[in-house]
Homo-oligomer: A and B are copies of this chain.
Amino acid sequence: MDSVQVKNHANHPKGCARMSDLLERLRARGWRMTSQRRVVAEVLAGEHVHLTADEVHARAVARLPEIARATVYNTLGELVALGEVVELSTDGRAKRYDPNARVPHQHLVCSGCGIIRDVHPAGDPLAVLPSAERFGFTVSKADVTYRGICPACACA
């Protein structure tokens, strides 16, 4: 049923539909639906960019002025635990939150400006790790960060 997709750069006319899907899933999992949680979820689902917790807080404050920073952190943590959002730390600074958790993908980061793009490598990155290189670990996933220079930074 996923007719909804996703190649979108900026605009996703189905944003609202996916949003209520998200709230739906959260409610189904026993989430108490508060205005704070709704706002955080909306902020994340509303823009397909990779925001830091403070950026999420700033956007949330614009809609719900009294929301606390701690609440944003709590809610982001819960969304990550539920698998609805992926946490990235591509630069050793603030973590970023990726709302596109349902489609497996990797990230391409510009070493100049830090912009992050979602990318889809060919094949399963796990497959190229020989079992001799697994040291008895049960390996469950591979996070890949491609690094380079984006077109805008290349000109400058």
Report A's interface with B, CB cutoff 8 A.
87, 89, 91-92, 95, 108, 110-111, 117, 119-123, 125-126, 128-130, 133-151, 154
Q: Is chain A's interface secondary structure helix, strand, loop, or mixed overall?
A: mixed
Per the bound structure, the CA–CA distance linking A111 and B138 in Å amounts to 10
* Total identical chains: 2
Partner of A140, one of B121, B128, B148: B148
Whether A147 lies near B136 (C-beta < 8 A) is no
Chain B residues whose CB sits within 8 angstroms of the CB of A145 once the complex forms: 142-145
B137 touches A128 (CB 8 A): no
- Chain B neighbourhood of A137, CB < 8 A: 108, 110, 117, 146, 148-151
Inter-subunit contact A133/B121 (CB<8 Å): yes
Closest to A151 in B: B136
**Nearest B residue (CB) for A121:** B128
Known contacts A129-B146, A137-B149; 18 additional CB pairs below 8 A are A87-B92, A89-B92, A108-B129, A108-B137, A110-B137, A117-B137, A121-B129, A122-B129, A126-B146, A137-B150, A137-B151, A138-B154, A139-B146, A139-B147, A141-B148, A143-B145, A144-B144, A145-B145
